[in-house]
Structures are given as structure tokens and as C-alpha cells.
Amino acid sequence: MSNIELGVAIAGPGMIGAVHARAVRMAGAHLRGVAAASPIAGVEAARRFGAARGYDSFDHLIADPSVDVVHVCTPNSSHRDLALAALEAGKHVICEKPLATKASDARLLADTARRTGCVATVPFVYRFHPMVREARARVSALGRLQLIHGSYLQDWLLGADDTNWRVDATVGGASRAFADIGSHWCDLIEWVTGERLSSVVASFDTTVAQRPDQERQSCASCGTAEGHAGGSIAVKTEDVAAATFKTGSGVLVNVTVSQVSAGRKNRLWFEIDGANGSVVFDQEDPERLWFAREGRTELLVRDPNVGSPEQRRLATLPAGHAQGYAQCFEAFVADTYATIRGEQRDGLPTFDDGLRSAQIVEAVLESSRTNSWISINGGHQ
């Protein structure tokens, strides 16, 4: 398939669908069409995304023989059915995270991808920051790991009038903040360090008890679901979370997650401390990596001419010309398409990684409910 132009369709008309559409074009694929909750919404999204057509339904999208890859960019509760139908139709799939709102459904999807032989990936795109690749390449130099800690902080739901479909547990799932952004942090930690989270004790808090029962333009208009005008609803998903993990080798891991931290737009930050040194990455300053050893501290800058091979591969702009989230997403989609064409790419997050994330989220949820340590399925090395 190396010389064949891939036909792509996007399920979902929202902000993240637009991000996918840009990455599709950058990867040189053909955007065949877009489907939404109604034919009219599908046509409008196709116009905005620059797609050839708007489908009448998700079923029509999946049935289109010209489509090789389906991007699932709909609210969380629909991921299972859409991704499953696409896989069973022989389509390759990119499904937004969380892969599913239940670990059992995520396992079904991972098993189906394996059975059908389709390439199936999940956008844990922060793996594609060049300096995250550099951190991974240097983690062995840190020596025996002693502590891993960090946070993922946002403020897009800070106000009492802010709302979004993710707030509704029936649409977004039982966990919001942790499943939405804490999952990214955990994925990075396991992937960068090679450690496996084996148990967790966690606590959730809902800081805004009531939110409007109406869709508003929070998170850069990321919500697209139709709401109900007027009134308010009780919020049953968390605004903040704190979790302490132990890895299979006994390393202590701690993370704070928030969607109500004023001024923090998208601050994914981690520090990995070893017996010989430490490394720090901050997603709001993604061009630099802090690396320290006893008596010596370095501030490494993204540069396509130096550093690890994977950092150089993903450093697509000259040093000093800032790269960010968009380039991460484009690299993820391009690596997915390359894999479909039979090429090998390092670090591509698959449905197995989506299943792993669902297992972690499920354990964190159970711990927050029971106020106790919970083992994570598959967490022992």
C-alpha cells in the first residue's frame, strides 16, 4: 500500500475533529467525508473541514468502500460502537481517548483490532513531543528510579457557568478530569520510564456542584453536543483528582489533575528522579527539557541536528522555530498511516495502550470510591 493514497473519514464535527482533519491533510491522505449526529451537521462539518462530502449517518460513513481509515472523534460514550463497527468492516481506526468508558469495552476493541488485523491507534499525542522522546532516550542515565511526580492542570471549567458534554457522566463517562487528561500523564510516565503502575490510592473532588444544563463554548468550543436551554444539573464527575501510585518495581508516583486551576491552560508536567539524576518536561514549554545530575544541570533545547534519533526525526522545524501540539498530532497521524502502509514507527499508541489507560482509570475510580489502595489490572511487571 506504500503508493496508495489513503481514503479517510471523520466521525464527529467538533474541535477535535478539526484537529484530525488538519493532520489528515498534512499526512497527504484524502478526506472523503465527515459524519455527525444529523445529515445537516455532517454537511456543515464537511464544509468546515474541507472534506468531499457530509454523510447522512455514521453507518453510511463506515459503509463507504472508498474509506480506508475511520477517525472516531465523537463523545466518549459512542466510541465503543463506532470503533467496533469500523473494525468489523475492515477499516483501520484512529479513536479518540478514552478508547471506551469501561475497561471491558476497551478490551473488546483491542481484541477486535488484533483479530481483524486492522491498525488501531489512540491519540496519546504527547508522546510525539521531540523533547519527550529525548527524555525517554535519557531515562536510563538517571539510574535507579526513586520518585516520579507531576501534574496536569487546566482551567477551562473554572467558572460556575462553564459546562460541556464531558461533565455529563452518561456521555463522558464516570471519570472526567482523570480520564480526560490524567490518562495522558499516566500514559507518558509508563511509556517514558518503562515502569508499570501496579496499585493506586486516589481522591476526587467536585468543586463546582452545579453547572448549567446547556452547552457552552468552553475549552475552545470543544463541545458540540446539543444541550437543553435553561436550568442547571448536579455535577457527578470530578473537577480535581490526586493519585498516588506504586509501580511494579516499587517506585512511588504522584500526580495532581485539575480542570479548575486558574491560568493553567494545558500544563502537563512531570519529573522523574533517579539515583544519578533527574529529568523534567513541561508541555507549556515543550521546546526545552531540564536534565540534572549531581553538581550539574542542563537545559536541553529541541534541535533537529543533535540529540536522540527519535527527537531529531520529530523535530520537523529548525531549532528556535517553536513546535507544539499541532505538530505532535500531525506526527501521530502520519505514523499511523505509515504503519498502515507497512512501515515501522516507534512509540505508536495502539488500542492496547487505550485498554491499559482504561484499566488505570477504572482502578483510580474504584480507589476514589472506596478510599483504599486498589491493584491495577496488568500492572505487575
Tell which CATH architecture fits domain 7-125: 3-Layer(aba) Sandwich (3.40)
Helix or strand or coil: residue 249? coil
- Residue 213 has what pLDDT? 83
Residues 106, 356: Cα–Cα separation, whole Å: 9
Give CATH superfamily name and number for 128-321+350-375.
Answer: Dihydrodipicolinate Reductase; domain 2 (3.30.360.10)
Residues 308, 263: Cα–Cα separation, whole Å: 33
- Residue 214 has what pLDDT? 58
pLDDT in tens, 57-83: 999 999 999 999 999 999 999 999 999
- Give every residue of the chain whose pLDDT is below 70, as ranges: 1-3, 214-230, 378-381
Question: Considering the entire predicted model, what is its pTM?
Answer: 0.93
- Residue 233 has what pLDDT? 87
- Residue 217 has what pLDDT? 43
- Residue 95 has what pLDDT? 98
- Sequence ranges of the domains in the chain: 7-125, 128-321+350-375
- Residue 4 has what pLDDT? 77
Is 128-321+350-375 in the same CATH topology as 7-125?
no
- Residue 231 has what pLDDT? 81
If you compute the radius of gyration of the chain from its CA atoms, what whole number of angstroms results? 20
Residues 110, 131: Cα–Cα separation, whole Å: 29
Residues 227, 250: Cα–Cα separation, whole Å: 46
* CA distances from residue 228 to 16, 19, 42, 225, 233 in whole angstroms, order as listed: 22, 27, 21, 10, 11
Is residue 152 within 8 A of residue 269, CB to CB? The reply is yes
